[in-house]
Amino acid sequence: MHKKMNVTQALFAGGFVGFILSIYYFFVPDFSYKGLVGIVVSALAAFVGALIAFQWISGNEN
């Protein structure tokens, strides 16, 4: 079950992560563990972005 991302999927996943992180760092007020939580948020955003890219973009190409 090793899937490879094409260019469109990789750009979408990267843009999705950037969008989620920009929302997180702009709207969430500062607290002591904001950087650590940001790492967790970025990992979750990468996972969700990859899932969306594989399902949505792969479905549109066929």
pLDDT in tens, 15-37: 999 999 999 999 989 999 999 99
% of the chain with per-residue pLDDT over 90: 45
User: Residues 38, 25: contact at Cβ < 8 Å?
Assistant: yes
C-alpha 23/C-alpha 26 separation (Å) is 5
Residue 11: count of CB within 10 angstroms of its CB: 13
User: Residues 16, 45: contact at Cβ < 8 Å?
Assistant: yes
pTM over 0.85? The answer is no
pLDDT (0 to 100) of residue 40: 94
Q: Read off the tokens for 38.
A: 């940001």
pLDDT (0 to 100) of residue 58: 66
Residues in Cβ contact with 27 at an 8 Å cutoff, skipping those fewer than 6 apart: none
What is the DSSP secondary structure assignment for residue 36, as one 8-state letter? H
